[in-house]
Structure 1
């Protein structure tokens, strides 16, 4: 009786790489904290219709703050690109990605011709100017284009973070487009968990103000 060969272990799953604006998250924490403090004061100490107006305003504003600060993210693996924007989530298999660019904003172009912004990778003109100055300084120090270990380490300082992220995504799109798991259609889903409470808060605020 022959012993069956041992099964090869399955390839371990790897977590998605995530691109997110750290400054956006910090701003969101500050805005939510400020809104919670002011709204809490109105709810606890307000009189008459003030607590209801504060509740309605919080119900309207907090989802919007979350949408534009905490929510934007880009998730990447070898099969697809998932874009989580303030009010939509777009999933593009790599085969559907025609190009990824960064002009005044970061954008991905689908094979269908559709264009989607990458809110999680904001373009900073200040960072681009800083990177351009680093490139000019490097060229002045080494006019013959020689490289060194120090120059290789500092190379990332000569590319703006958004441009570096876009170049990374473009390279992965080219590398992974032919994978079997990277085929399929683009899907778009609205963020009803953000839109529903924000709309309810807006309607409640308008009603309270109209009947006040």
Structure 2
């Protein structure tokens, strides 16, 4: 399974809105649902006594929660508004109501009213940021070496030092990509900021912020938790 810092949120093209999801979160959710479903169905079919009922209640509780935190989160960026689908809420912010898009230890959008909403589908990876910073430092060192007429530093084929995996020098090796290196989540936030700055003053991008609870997630999860509590209390 790809780790979140190896592959960040990617925009899904071909639709009207840009859609940002976490590929690692989605893949992890599919695997978790498969595991939970397999164990739960096996307990329901082969279990004895109260076991099938406990397994059923656990499934009703876990399936919505796993879906909420892995498959559900997404950010939809259109010409007029930003729609944030988090685990338990859906927030719609017209671009005119967005005060800022912040990136620190988490990515979040701040409304003009001061409300803050975390962007669950665009997680921050500190490892990816450090790796991008190291890449940027290497690029700066290579550019300085070129200006001074010195050869670029050789690197290993697997990102290690020369001599491991067949290092390539600047001659005959792949060129270092131009431009500042950025983590994937930071690139996604840059795209959202650019869209916000371009559209925030448009008449069609004005309106009110709306927040809706995801009852399709909260309802089944609450029912499963209640059923499980009753079964455990009855003994």
CA distance in 2, matches of 1:114, 1:132: 31
Unaligned runs of 5+ in 1: 1-12
The CA deviation string for residues 66-119 of structure 1, in whole angstroms up to 9 with x for no partner, is: 000000000011100000000000000000001001100001010111100000
Give runs of aligned pairs for residues 63-102 of structure 1, distance below 5 A. 63-102=64-103
In structure 1, the residue matched to 2:221 is 198
1:148-163 equivalences under 5 Å are 153-155=177-179, 158-163=181-186
Partner of residue 6, structure 1: none
Indicate yes or no: 2:200 matched with 1:177.
Answer: yes
Partner of 2:32: 31
Change (3 A) 1:64 1:154: farther
TM-score where L is the length of structure 2: 0.80
The structure that is helix-richer by fraction is 1
- The C-alpha deviation readout for 1:123-176, integer Å capped at 9, x for no partner, is 000100110000000000002898xxx55x5547x1011111111111111110
Does 1:116 pair with 2:124?
no
User: RMSD between aligned alpha carbons?
Assistant: 1.7
2:65 counterpart of 1:61: no
Moved over 6 A (4+): none
- Which residue is 1:7 aligned to? none
Instruction: Name which of structure 1's ranges 166-175 and 62-71 shifts more when overlaid on structure 2.
Output: 166-175
Distance 2:217 2:145 in 1: 54
Q: Which runs of 5+ in 2 are unaligned?
A: 1-13, 148-174
Once the two structures are TM-superposed, the CA of residue 14 in structure 1 deviates from its matched residue by 5.3
Structure 2 CA distance for partners of 1:145 and 1:63, relative to 1, 3 Å? farther
SS in 1 for 2:93: strand
Question: Which residue of 2 is the match for residue 140 of structure 1?
Answer: 141
For residues 93 and 109 of structure 2, what CA distance do their matches in structure 1 show? Answer: 10
Aligned residue in 1 for 2:232: 209
Q: Which whole-Å CA distance do the structure 1 matches of 2:190 and 2:102 have between them?
A: 8
Give, in whole Å, the separation in 2 of the partners of 1:27 and 1:192: 23
Q: Distance in 1 between matches of 2:146 and 2:91?
A: 42
